[in-house]
Amino acid sequence: MNKTSAGSFFEDFRLGQTIRHATPRTVTEGDAALYVGLFGARFAVQSSAAFATAIGYRARPIDDLLVFHIVFGKTVPDISLHAVANLGYANGQFLAPVFAGDSLSATSEVIGLKENSNRKTGIVTVRSRAINQTSTGVLEYVRWVMVRKRDEGAPAPGDHVPRLPTSVDAALLGAACPPLDVKAYDFALAGSPHRFSDYQVGEKIDHVDGVTVEEAEHQIATRLYQNTARIHFDQFAAAQGRFGRRLIYGGHVISLARALSFNGLANAFHIAAINGGRHVAPLFAGKTVFAWSEVLAKAELAGRTDVGALRLRTVATADRPCHDFPYKNGDDYDAAVLLDLDYWALIPR
């Protein structure tokens, strides 16, 4: 009896299959501190218990992306150990705040399977859901990955491409944000005077700073999420691979860009939803990451006057400052672009 998990190949998945993921994980102040050390996030709500509780949180919430990465990490051994590429995200919704001490676990449902024409790989789409220790849902999102087949001759295990929303309906936003007392929100302390009404659709913001990534940093971060994808950790194997180097977990770029975006979006304190995201190019250690954002849309939240939502595109680049907002040249991404992320962030009104 083989004791080690070999991971699933494309033909091993079934439509409708539900997978309970190991390992349950208690998120702590220790994780929050290490996350600050790795990314330097400065949003006041996640940084200060005094600030968070003054405006209505029962405690300082854990950074949304730390929650996302921990949940994502759980799915890797079951979903993407044989992934060739992590193709995209959709319909990500933060459903409840996570606080230090909460224990998270996750399941995924296979909602799409589509063999590629080369018959060597297929696209697996899963909806992953995370709950806390009281079985309250804290996050769900859809992702699709290109997974290798073990046996090219195996029949395709399904043939379905799910319809996914291009963005999360604004009516669904805000579940993870308690009602806030915005009078108690200290804009000077938070680092910017700009609130919901100050942002315009179409506005672009260069986040100015750049941050160089070291191998030790992305390895520590990715292990913190208990993400086991070999390509991030094993230089011995990577040396013989396509790039000759360890690939950095795509989520590392998301967190770097989010931390950089504080300079320009300091009050957009909570990611309420991830509409979509694409890892356009791989990142390697030694490169310097820059970012810029565009306000794609604005939305009021039904029944709430405390916060509004900005739909943002945040673009990250490698070794390329963003004062001129590099994005696409025709249909193709600028060669420096790493990440194209579309999400809703809440900001005081």
Contact positions with a copy of itself (CB under 8 A) in 287-346? 288, 290, 319, 321
Does 42 contact a copy of itself by CB under 8 A? yes
Nearer to a copy of itself, 270 or 276 (CB): 270
Smallest distance from a copy of itself to CB 128, Å = 15
| Selected binder of a copy of itself within 87, 114, 137, 219 (CB under 8 A) | 219
| Selected binder of a copy of itself within 9, 10, 13, 43 (CB under 8 A) | 43
Does 246 contact a copy of itself by CB under 8 A? yes
The residue among 256, 238, 236 whose CA lies nearest residue 247 is 238
Contact positions with a copy of itself (CB under 8 A) in 120-139? 133
Stretch that binds a copy of itself, among 9-17, 160-168, 214-222, 339-347 (CB under 8 A): 214-222
| Selected binder of a copy of itself within 9, 10, 13, 39 (CB under 8 A) | 39
* CB-CB contact of 274 with 341 (8 Å): yes
Nearer to a copy of itself, 165 or 244 (CB): 244
Nearer to a copy of itself, 90 or 247 (CB): 247
Nearer to a copy of itself, 117 or 200 (CB): 200
Smallest distance from a copy of itself to CB 118, Å = 26
Q: Supply φ then ψ for residue 158, to 5 degrees.
A: 175, 170
The residue among 97, 5, 38 whose CA lies nearest residue 225 is 38
Stretch that binds a copy of itself, among 8-16, 47-55, 117-125, 307-315 (CB under 8 A): 47-55
Contact flags string 141-180 toward a copy of itself, x per CB under 8 A: ----------------------------------------
Does 190 contact a copy of itself by CB under 8 A? yes
Smallest distance from a copy of itself to CB 342, Å = 19
Does 201 contact a copy of itself by CB under 8 A? no
Does 12 contact a copy of itself by CB under 8 A? no
Does 228 contact a copy of itself by CB under 8 A? yes
